[in-house]
Amino acid sequence: MRIATFNLESLDLVPGGEAALARRIAVLAPLLDRLRADVLCLQEVNAQKRGLAAMRDQEGPSKRDPTALRRLLAATAYADCHLVTSSGPSGEGMADVHNLAIVSRSPVLETRELRNDLVPPPAYQAVTAEPREAGRLALAWDRPLLYALLALPDGRRLHVINLHLRSPLAAAIPGQKTAPLVWSTTAGWAEGCLAATIKRSGQALEARLLVEALFDADPEALIAVCGDLNAALEETPGRILRATVEDSGNSALASRVLDPLEEDLPAERRFSVIHGGRPLLLDHILVSPALKAAHRSIEALNDGLPDEQSMTPDDPRSNHAPLVAGFDL
C-alpha cells in the first residue's frame, strides 16, 4: 500500500483559463501516476463556482466544486477512486482557495473536518493595533484539517489526517498594513509573525488532540498524518505533532509518538521545496507505531523541482514535490 502527500499549489480553473488548466494537467497528471498511490493527500485545491443547473442537481448544496481537481484526476489512474474534500467554514460550501482533498482506492467509512473544534480560537490583544480597541482578536485557523477513516482490504482500518498549516508569513494586525504584503511598522509586522506562529502551532495542536483521541480508542491504531506543515519537524508545529519521548520526558508515552518517515530518505533527497537556492523539507508523512512497523519505503519525487522564487505566474508546475511511502499492509 502506498500513501502520498502533494501540495498542488493553487490548482484552479479561472474564467477563460481552460488552456492554463490543460497545461497544468499535462504536467501534474504524469507526476500523480508516478506515485502509484492508494491514498493521496492533496493540498491547495481551489474550488470553482458551479452553474445554476449544477446547483440544483444531486451533488449537494455547495456553490463551489473542485472542477479543476476532477479534471486532473480524470486524466490519471485515480479517475475511479473515492474523493473526499474539505467543505469550508461551517460546512456551507468549499472555500474558493486552498481546500484539502483525500483520494482513496479503499472505501471511505467516515470523514470529518476540524477547524477550532478541539482547540477554540485563542483570544489575543494586539498591542500594535490601530486603533487599539480594534486589537481584540480571535486567532482562528485559516484552514481546517481533513480526516478520513478508510477500510483496508484485510479488514483493518486506516486513519488519515490531511494537513496544510499556515505559512510563516505575518498575520494581519488591524491598522498595520498598507497593502497585502506591505506593513506600516516593523513592530506591527513582528506582532503579525507572532500571530501566525500561534495559528500554525494551534492547528498542529488540534491535529495532535485528534491523534490522542484515536490512540485512546485504539492504542494500535494505524494513523497517517500527511501534508504541508510549512515547517521543518524541529520547529514547534512539528514537535507538537511528533510528541517524542525526548520532548515529553516520559517513556511511557512512546506508543503515542508519530514517526516522520522522511528520516529514511537519503540526505541529498530530503527536500520538497527549493526557496532561493535552499532545499527545504516542508511536506511530511508521520505515522503511528503500528503503521511504522509496516513501513517499507519512502520517496521524494523532487527531481527537476523548480526554485519557487524564480517561477513565473504561468509555470504549470507545483513548487512542492510529492512524497510517497510504501507499506506492507
* pLDDT reported for residue 88: 60
Query: Taking the mean position of all CA atoms in its chain, how far away is CA 204?
Result: 11
* pLDDT reported for residue 315: 96
Residue reference for cell 506562529:
197
* pLDDT reported for residue 279: 97
Q: Which structural domain, as residue segments, surrounds residue 40? A: 2-327
Q: Tens digit of pLDDT for each residue in 158-200?
A: 999 999 999 999 999 999 999 989 999 999 999 999 999 999 9
The DSSP symbol for 196 reads: H
Residue 209 pLDDT more than 80? yes
* C-alpha span between 201 and 238 (Å, rounded): 9
Long-range contacts of the stretch 122-125 (C-beta < 8 A, 24+):
122/198, 122/202, 124/195, 124/198
* pLDDT reported for residue 63: 73
CATH number, position 91:
3.60.10.10
* Grid coordinates belonging to 123: 483570544
Q: How many domains does the chain have?
A: 1
* Grid coordinates belonging to 109: 467509512
Which of the four pLDDT bands, split at 50, 70 and 90, describes residue 61? very low
Residues 6+ apart with CB under 8 A from 202: 119, 121, 122, 139, 141
* C-alpha span between 145 and 142 (Å, rounded): 10
Of 93, 114, 112, the closest CA to residue 203 belongs to 114
* pLDDT reported for residue 87: 80
* pLDDT reported for residue 230: 96
- Predicted TM-score of the model (pTM): 0.94
